[in-house]
């Protein structure tokens, strides 16, 4: 057996295990996990364990692959009930907001750093994009207004595409390639974004139709097939010269809201794979950086980062959200919560790989900027939310319902977990008022299963197994959600079981 491969597998396994333990520590002390992974990569690199790694092209390729997985997971775990009210703000932030931020940062770079306009625009484009992994993992743990959070999530899922196109165009110009008029570049960007959206949504609906009707031999194939559809959306869009990043995110969004079989298992698989992608990506970026060059980049990074955080981002948010009547306090939070992470660092590898003059300086500046401002913003978000008085009260959790198909019987199994905050506690089974062709057939309480009867009451922590006809599953889910929030008098309270939409 190849000893090098064996050693690489051992090192990779140890890195994942150390990163998993470090993530637990980071959560306890409030430190963003990406910094732990970057530090691990630096520790393994030339200034630590001595691993020499200078392959920028490989880093760029693996970085794009990791971003595909991260964006797919982001789409799969985003609820359409939240996003549909945030489409306008999210799209505006990912397009108009990008243009404003790039222009402001570039102007400051020309003025204070004596950069040329093309180089300054390249720097602005690289640092402008917010990071999907950082936004998804950080904001979903905070009790914040859902429309505001959904706007940030949609922005982070969509803004990679226009920024990447801009970085590629500017890199080509700075290396003496073809120079096109700005209006042709704009038309190309709009066309690629629209094409990627069509392909992503189309494959999402087509894939959902297929998965609902295909009886796969193993339940574990459903998560694999779902992720494969998302990757196919990226690849198809990219091969057709449209935006693969828009396609993969929208495909994941459609599939994640399509009530697919084994959805909970699919989401868990996607989250685990995205975490693995993040670990690998940040460790790889830590390996690539040369710590000896970073002190020279500290002052430019602080300058550009400060302008981005305090001037460019607030201005871009104000311009983008002006038509949507979002409260000023929420706009201020959106300005502060434009988190950077892997995306700007990966984008910084594009000009390096294209051999743009001065690109190494851009990479070092962006690396320091991400580390410093992730510390500043990541730790302060809960405090800023309290200061702005936008933290929402903790509401009862929706029940967690997982389904599996029984194709030959035209039925589905549903697994129900009763959260501690649910008003299902104490409700008798007949009071659930499930459809006539749905029934609770098994309850597990304290690890002990039993067959329920009409006198059985659900309790906190219970797990229950339900059987329902396929056509009644959605109605059964809505009724369970309604009782979970409103109790046995849910109908009288006007609760219909729709997904929650906290403002």
**For position 236, what pLDDT does the model report?**
94
Residue 378, CA distances (Å) to 20, 139, 464 in order: 19, 10, 38
Between 394 and 170, where is the model more confident?
A: 170
Evaluate whether 343 touches 132 at the Cβ level (below 8 Å): yes
Cβ neighbours around 471 below 10 Å, total = 12
**For position 395, what pLDDT does the model report?**
45
Between 263 and 228, where is the model more confident?
A: 228
CA distance 128 to 131: 10
CA distance 495 to 487: 9
C-alpha of 237 from chain center: 20
pTM: 0.75
Please say if the pLDDT value at position 237 is more than 70: yes
pLDDT band at residue 1, thresholds of 50, 70 and 90? low
pLDDT band at residue 319, thresholds of 50, 70 and 90? very high
Evaluate whether 336 touches 381 at the Cβ level (below 8 Å): yes
Please say if the pLDDT value at position 248 is more than 70: yes
pLDDT band at residue 402, thresholds of 50, 70 and 90? low
Q: What's the fold here for domain 54-387?
A: Na+/H+ antiporter like fold (1.20.1530)
Q: What is the mean pLDDT of the chain?
A: 83
User: Which parts of 412-501 fold into alpha helices (H)?
Assistant: 473-486
Please say if the pLDDT value at position 38 is more than 60: yes
User: How large is the average pLDDT for residues 345-367?
Assistant: 88
CA distance 283 to 53: 11
**For position 396, what pLDDT does the model report?**
45
Nearest to 495 by CA among 400, 420, 398: 398
CA distance 487 to 484: 6
**For position 106, what pLDDT does the model report?**
92
CA distance 316 to 310: 11
Q: Does domain 400-489 have CATH number 3.30.70.1450?
A: yes
Between 124 and 20, where is the model more confident?
A: 124
pLDDT band at residue 400, thresholds of 50, 70 and 90? low
Fold matches, 54-387 and 400-489 = no
| Percentage of the residues of the chain whose pLDDT score is greater than 70 | 89
**For position 339, what pLDDT does the model report?**
83
Instruction: Tell me the per-residue pLDDT of 197-207, one tens digit each, with 9 for 90 and over.
Output: 999 999 999 99
Cβ neighbours around 253 below 10 Å, total = 27
Please say if the pLDDT value at position 484 is more than 80: yes
Dihedral sign from CA coordinates of 378, 142, 89, 336: negative
Block residue for tokens 């207004």: 145
Please say if the pLDDT value at position 142 is more than 80: no
Please say if the pLDDT value at position 483 is more than 50: yes
CA distance 411 to 404: 9
Q: Which residues pair with 406 in a beta bridge?
A: 411
Residue 372, CA distances (Å) to 245, 298, 378 in order: 27, 9, 10
Q: What are the residue boundaries of the structural domains of the chain, listed by start? A: 54-387, 400-489
């Amino acid at each position: 057996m190849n000893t090098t491969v064996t050693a690489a597998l051992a090192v990779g396994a140890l890195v994942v295990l150390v990163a998993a333990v470090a993530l637990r520590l980071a959560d306890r002390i409030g430190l963003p996990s990406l910094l732990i992974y970057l530090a691990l990569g630096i520790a393994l690199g030339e200034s630590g364990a001595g691993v020499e790694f200078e392959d920028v092209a490989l880093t760029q390729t693996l970085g794009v692959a990791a971003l595909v997985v991260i964006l797919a997971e982001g789409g799969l775990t985003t609820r359409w009930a939240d996003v549909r009210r945030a489409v306008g703000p999210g799209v505006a932030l990912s397009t108009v907001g990008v243009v404003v931020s790039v222009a402001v940062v570039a102007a400051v770079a020309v003025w204070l750093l004596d950069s040329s306009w093309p180089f300054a625009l390249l720097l602005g484009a690289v640092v402008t994009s917010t990071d999907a992994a950082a936004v998804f993992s950080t904001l979903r743990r905070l009790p914040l207004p859902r429309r505001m959070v959904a706007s940030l999530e949609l922005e982070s899922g969509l803004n990679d595409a226009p920024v990447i196109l801009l970085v590629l165009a500017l890199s080509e110009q700075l290396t003496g390639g073809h120079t096109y008029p700005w209006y042709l570049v704009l038309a190309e960007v709009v066309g690629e974004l629209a094409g990627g959206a069509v392909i992503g949504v189309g494959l999402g609906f087509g894939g959902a139709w297929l998965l609902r009707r295909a009886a796969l031999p193993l339940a574990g194939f459903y998560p694999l097939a779902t992720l494969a559809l998302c990757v196919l959306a990226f690849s198809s869009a990219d091969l057709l010269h449209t935006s693969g990043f828009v396609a993969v995110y929208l495909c994941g969004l459609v599939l994640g809201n399509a009530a697919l079989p084994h959805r909970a298992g699919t989401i868990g698989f996607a989250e685990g794979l995205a975490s693995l992608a993040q670990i690998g990506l940040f460790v790889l970026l830590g390996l690539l950086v040369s710590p000896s060059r970073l002190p020279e980049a500290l002052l430019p990074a602080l300058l550009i980062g400060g302008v981005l955080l305090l001037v460019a981002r607030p201005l871009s948010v104000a311009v983008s959200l002006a038509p949507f009547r979002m409260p000023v306090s929420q706009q201020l939070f959106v300005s502060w919560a434009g988190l950077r992470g892997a995306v700007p660092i990966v984008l910084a590898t594009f000009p390096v790989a294209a051999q743009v003059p001065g690109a190494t300086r851009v990479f070092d500046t962006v690396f320091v900027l991400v580390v410093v401002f992730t510390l500043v913003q990541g730790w302060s978000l809960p405090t800023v939310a309290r200061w702005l008085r936008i933290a929402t009260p903790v509401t009862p959790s929706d029940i967690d319902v997982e389904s599996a198909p029984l194709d030959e019987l035209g039925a589905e199994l549903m697994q129900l977990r009763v959260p501690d905050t649910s008003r299902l506690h104490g409700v008798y089974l007949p009071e659930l008022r499930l459809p006539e062709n749905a029934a609770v057939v098994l309850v597990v309480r304290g690890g002990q299963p039993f067959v329920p009867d009409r006198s059985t009451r659900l309790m906190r922590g219970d797990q229950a197994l339900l059987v329902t006809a396929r056509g009644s599953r959605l109605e059964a889910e809505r009724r369970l959600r309604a009782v979970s929030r409103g109790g046995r008098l849910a109908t009288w309270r006007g609760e219909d079981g729709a997904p929650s939409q906290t403002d």
